[in-house]
Structure 1
Amino acid sequence: MGLFDSIAGQVLGSLTQSGQAGATPHAGLLEAIGGLMNNPQIGGLSGLITIFQEKGLGGVVSSWVATGENLPISAEQLQSVLGSEQVQAIAEKFGFSTEEVSGHLAELLPQVVDKLTPDGTVPEGNAMGDTLGSVLGMLKGMSR
């Protein structure tokens, strides 16, 4: 089993355990997470981590990268990091309220970051982009 299959299986497995595999919000929001990380204004996964650190949540995001347990993040904290405009844009795209989007992203983002950093380090450059794109593409296909 390849790296991408493994990551996709782990994220989908955790969604299945919580009874949410195939749920439409998760498929679309996984795509939104990919869009966030591929956004040049954010700067990929390392840029997203920097934003969390600047907003005082460096310990939380560091736990997602590290090999130990992931610390939780609230919907409100996530919205403060990403910004209301960003969350609103995602909500409008998928037809959800900002509260729903923030809640789902607070559940999914730690898992995605965790799976993208299995050895506790952030992949650099194209390696991260290739990994993220492949993982999110497979997740999107598998969740239909």
Structure 2
Amino acid sequence: MGLFDNAVPGGNITKPLMIALGALLVGKMLSGRSAEQPDQPETAAPPAPVPTEATASDGGLLGGLGGLLDKLRDAGHGNTADSWVGTGQNQSINANDLGNAIGPQIIREIAQRTGMNEQELLKQLSTALPGIVDKLTPNGQVPQQHQVASAFNS
């Protein structure tokens, strides 16, 4: 897997988790479903909000890595998020805190796309994100969005 080797405890990143990480950070694997089934409406969800929130220039559901970090900072977890980017020890984040920061609509969207239940998704993301963000920011700098995307193509 290259870049993400040893990024998560145990070293294994499952395919659903990679899909979830790709959805959050680069928008990868998100456009496929809507492109394949453009005429099928989402259940009880108006189509209008989708283009504004999702995959704007391949930035993921939150606007890429920078957007994810901003969401965490806005939710009061800036020190934790900054520890992942910085060169020191990565702080952990509680699954519920991560879910509250990302927001229930986005968690629901990713859970549907990965086939995971929301609690399991949050548990795995809260375990994986510190190491993944750390690997994506080796010099303590948030990379350009195309650099994050290329990490998911390897």
Compute the TM-score of the two structures, normalised by the length of structure 2.
0.70
Q: d(CA) in 1 for partners of 2:62 and 2:112? A: 20
Structure 2 unaligned regions, length at least 5: 28-54
Q: Are 2:7 and 2:128, in contact at CA under 8 Å, matched by a contact in 1? A: no
Give how far 1:9 is off. Answer: 2.5
Relative to its length, the structure with more helix (as a share) is 1
Q: Match of 2:2?
A: 9
User: Are the counterparts in 1 of residues 16 and 115 from structure 2 also a CA contact under 8 Å?
Assistant: no
Q: Give the Cα separation in 1 of the matches to 2:16 and 2:91.
A: 22
TM-fit CA distance, 1:10: 4.3
Q: What is the rounded CA distance, in whole Å, between the counterparts of 2:79 and 2:98 in structure 1?
A: 14
For residue 118 of structure 1, report the CA deviation from its aligned partner: 0.8
**Separation in 1, partners of 2:63, 2:11:** 33
Identity %: 32
Return structure 1 stretches of 4+ with deviation > 6 angstroms.
none
Equivalent pairs counted in the alignment come to: 124
Q: Unpaired runs of 5+ in structure 1?
A: 1-7, 139-144
Tell me if structure 1 keeps the 8 A contact 2:98–2:122.
Answer: yes
SS of 1:31's partner is helix
Give the structure 1 partner of residue 131 of structure 2: 111
Match of 1:51 in 2: 71
Aligned to 1:38: 59
